[in-house]
Amino acid sequence: MASKALISLSTLLLIHSCYSAHEHSLLTPASTSNALPLDIVIETILSVLLLCLGIVLGNKEELKPISWSVWSGMLEREKGCGQFGYLEERVGFLDIRVKRAEFAKWVKGAEEGSS
Amino acid sequence: MAILKLLLSYLSIHPSPLRNPSTTLHLSQQAPAFLSSSESTKDTQETWLIYEQLLLSCLRTGDDNSARLCLQRLSDRFGVDSARVKALTGLYDEATSNSRGELESVLQRYQDILKEDPTNMPIEKRRISLLLSLGRTEDAIKALTSLLSHSPNDAESWAHLSSLYFTQGLYQQSIFCLEEVLLILPNAYNIFARIGEVTYISASTGGNSTNQTEAFEEAIKYFARSVELSEWYLRGWYGLKLITRKLIQGKPSDGTLGKMESLNQLATEKLVQIVSKFRRNEKGWMGFDESEVLAAKDLIDQDEQKFAR
């Protein structure tokens, strides 16, 4: 919620600063120096910083570890299948009849009721 | 909203449900409820992903009615001519055929499709696995090598060819194929461990003792790389411990003994940690395969007995 408020506030500020800059360039005569007033500059930078902060705070997904080995180790211990598990499972070459027989055997060991 | 979300979260926890029977069963039991729910008509990427997974699970558990319904909806959406749907249809036919004759006719149909479109990869893969299933390993290897000659960057095919060579006892060829996989996916730590395993097995079955020591040291390098890429890779640590123990028992004369001992110790520590956390059902440590954990425990126990004696 806080991040949404921050994002909308900083977006408004950013739009306002852009508008001010536009007006400033229209209203100052071409002969005088064309530098932007300090308050517009500050408003622009501040709004961009706040916008970044709001977006980062609004991230709801769990962050992944930066180190590859920590990340893949985490996948291994939590799910038992890393990002290369498909190289061992090889669904494209699935021998469905063997898998079916294997499953039937497993069911026989446990209980009937999946057919 | 409920069941679609349920299935998606289940799939994210169990990314490969076909690996063990209980997860397959769980998934296929959800199939009828999903197929009759209103969410099954949604046209999103996730829905079709779930359809495919359900189809595979139902085929495995023998729930052919749900499987047919999944297949029907997939082919209604993507058309019967889509390569992927064709392969899934073939899979369904393979699973439901009762006699060798029926399988031969499925094989014939694959060949007909390939005659029209020789680069249809999913069908080519189906044909290869059906050849294998019919016991024609040599033909399967030939077909697989020709597939790889026209698409050499398919890691799955290289990995499969490696396992075929392995079943034939052609360890050098098997390792070559795994190295090809590493060229495509240099971070595939399970392939590093697999090369270590194949090197170890081929060295244990033949060769004299100096060659064997060299091969073992080679295997250690691969296992070490696999655990470097994934800090909790059980098979990597297991292999590392197994081989360093063998080398220590062989009492190497040169300066490698100290290195071997420290590697062995590190692997033991990691394995002990994995086994104890898995046995205490600690959260975040339940992904390991139970039989693999048991094997690791056996290996540790063997060492302890040796010290106790």
Q: Is residue B26 part of a domain?
A: yes
B5 located within any domain: yes
Residues B51-85 have pLDDT tens digits of 999 999 999 998 899 999 999 999 999 988 888 99
What tokens were used for A108? 């026989």
**Alpha-carbon span A1 to A8, nearest angstrom:** 11
Which residues in chain A are contacts of B62 at CB distance < 8 A?
A: 100, 103-104, 114-115
Number of domains chain B is built from = 1
Contact state of A72 with B229 under an 8 Å Cβ cutoff: yes
Instruction: Name residue B184's amino acid.
Output: I
Question: How distant, in Å, are the alpha carbons of A6, A57, B125, B264 from that of A1?
Answer: 9, 10, 50, 52
- The alpha-carbon gap from B255 to the nearest alpha carbon of chain A, in Å, equals 29
Partner-chain contact B159 A90, CB within 8 Å: yes
Q: Which of B61, B179, B197 to mutate to test the interface with A (most CBs of A within 10 A)?
A: B61
CB B159 within 8 A of CB B191: yes
Q: Which residue has the higher pLDDT, B259 or A51?
A: A51
Q: What is the dihedral of CA A107, A109, A112, B2, to 10 degrees?
A: -50
Task: Judge whether B148 lies within some domain.
Answer: no
Q: Which domain holds residue B66?
A: 1-11+18-35+45-78
Q: Taking CB atoms and an 8 Å limit, are A103 and B61 in contact across chains?
A: yes
CB within 8 Å: B63 and A114: yes
Is residue A33 predicted with pLDDT exceeding 90?
no
- Whether residue A115 is predicted with pLDDT greater than 50 in this model: the reply is no
Q: Residue-wise over B108-130: b if at least 16 C-beta within 10 A, else e?
A: ebbeebbeeeeebbbbbbbbbbb
Q: Is residue B62 part of a domain?
A: yes
Considering only residues B224 and B207, tell me which one the structure prediction assigns the higher pLDDT: B224
**CA neighbor of A103 nearest in space, from B91, B97, B60, B17:** B60
Q: Which has the closest alpha carbon to B178: B129, B123, B239, B219?
A: B219
Q: What ipTM was predicted for this assembly?
A: 0.79
In a domain, B52, yes or no: yes
pTM of the model: 0.83
Task: Report residue B106 as tokens.
Answer: 């499925």
Q: Report CB contact under 8 Å: B286, A78.
A: yes
Q: Is residue B74 part of a domain?
A: yes
Task: Tell me the pLDDT tens digit for each residue of A88-106.
Answer: 889 889 888 888 888 888 8
**Can you tell me the distance from the alpha carbon of A44 to that of B291, in angstroms, rounded to the nearest whole number?**
60
